[in-house]
Amino acid sequence: MFAFSRAPRRLIYIAAALLALLMHISARADTELRIGYQKSSTLMTLLKLQGTLEKDLSRQGVKVSWYEFSSGLPLLESLNIGNVDVSADVADTVPVFAQAAGANLTYFAREEPSPDAQAILVPQASPLKTLADLKGKRIAVTKAAGSHYLLIAALAKAHLTFKDITPAYLTPADGRAAFETGKVDAWVTWEPFVASAQRQQNARVLSEGQGLASYQRYYLASTAYAQSHPEILDLIYRQLENAGTWIKDHPADAAKLLGPLWGNLDVATVEQANAHRTYLVKPVTPDSLGEQQHIADAFFDAGLLPTRIDAQAVSIWTPGTRK
């Protein structure tokens, strides 16, 4: 009969506990899908509201859990450290910052460009008429958002830089409040905030994104999840395609669903906002990441990225990929 000392016995208990924990984590990964999203994640929000994704995955024994984030950067940070498995769409700038920070993420879908879903807004009676008039002004913008790149591109077109303005880095809610109370001269934002400001605050569009910033939105997964569960990504991709078609075919019905989630916006405002988004879901290819490189270079040149990156040096999942 073998006798074990107390120390080795304790090590055996610890090893057994760790093995049980790893088995629990592995089992959870196979039976739970954790999705991170934002209020602006229109297509994923529709899937959540309509329950279609959960219904299809339940047949495979997979439970869906939803986690809402206030902005894209915290969402991708959570994705990178393994707190969520899949990210709903984020603005094109967000993965650039994540890549520069060394995040190990996989692109699995994108929406075709929607340049007019972003805009630089000014009060209706503002004397500002051209992009050059932004010189010396205080401008609200959300840091690292797609609107941040729009502002960089707009200033460059007017032969200006951020040194020529006073940026106020604010969340959309705080940006709206600052704009409404006259604490800023202009506000750079995206839908549905653009349509809401136009209809409720009588805001005037100084410039939309056309010709300045393409504004694509990307869907990402943790690379580990993409490699382990390509069949789940395939199902999500097809459902996103269907949701994009549905929202364009049923604009009023979609607006009725989304309005309450977007601060009780009226149907007309939501329809106006959604008209500026393509919601056309497409695969990601290296060639489709050209604008990502322009964004990365612009942010590096502005001193906002610690290093230059190769926007094509990322992991990409392709629809139809299975184990």
Two tokens at 87? 């990210």
Domain ranges, ordered by start, for the chain:
8-113+216-316, 115-208
Two tokens at 246? 């549905």
Contacts of residue 294, Cβ cutoff 8 Å, sequence gap at least 6: none
Total residue count of the chain as it appears in this document: 323
Listed residue (42, 83, 67) closest to 250, CA to CA = 42
Listed residue (58, 60, 62) closest to 33, CA to CA = 62
The structure's pTM equals 0.86
* Cα–Cα distance for residue pair 194/192, rounded to 1 Å: 5
Strands (E), the chain: 32-37, 63-68, 86-91, 105-111, 118-123, 138-141, 166-169, 186-190, 203-208, 217-222, 281-282, 315-316
Two tokens at 243? 């949701």
User: Cβ–Cβ contacts within 10 Å for residue 50, how many?
Assistant: 15
Annotate 19-42 with b (16+ C-beta within 10 A) or e (fewer).
Answer: eeeeeeeeeebeeebbbbbbbbbb
DSSP class of 119: E
Fold of 115-208: D-Maltodextrin-Binding Protein; domain 2 (3.40.190)
User: Cβ–Cβ contacts within 10 Å for residue 5, how many?
Assistant: 8
- What's the pLDDT at 28? 44
Residue 171 host element (H or E): none
Two tokens at 137? 């002004």
Listed in sequence order, the DSSP H helices in 137-260 are: 146-157, 172-180, 193-200, 223-228, 230-249, 251-258
Fold of 8-113+216-316: D-Maltodextrin-Binding Protein; domain 2 (3.40.190)
Contact 291, 209 (CB under 8 A): no
Q: What is the pLDDT along the chain (323 residues), one digit of tens a residue?
A: 334 344 445 544 444 444 443 444 344 446 899 999 988 899 999 999 999 999 999 998 999 999 999 788 899 999 999 999 999 999 999 999 999 999 999 999 999 999 999 999 999 999 999 999 999 999 999 988 999 999 999 999 999 999 999 999 999 999 999 999 999 999 999 999 999 999 999 999 999 999 999 999 999 999 999 999 999 999 999 999 999 999 999 999 999 999 999 999 999 999 999 999 999 999 999 999 999 999 999 999 988 899 999 999 999 999 976 55
Q: Which residues partner with 32 through β-bridges?
A: 63
Q: 8-113+216-316 and 115-208 share one CATH topology?
A: yes
- Torsion over CA of 173, 175, 178 and 179, rounded to 10 degrees? -110
Cα 54 to the chain's mean position, in Å? 21
- What's the pLDDT at 27? 41
Residue 284 host element (H or E): none
| Amino acid, single-letter form, for residue 108 | F
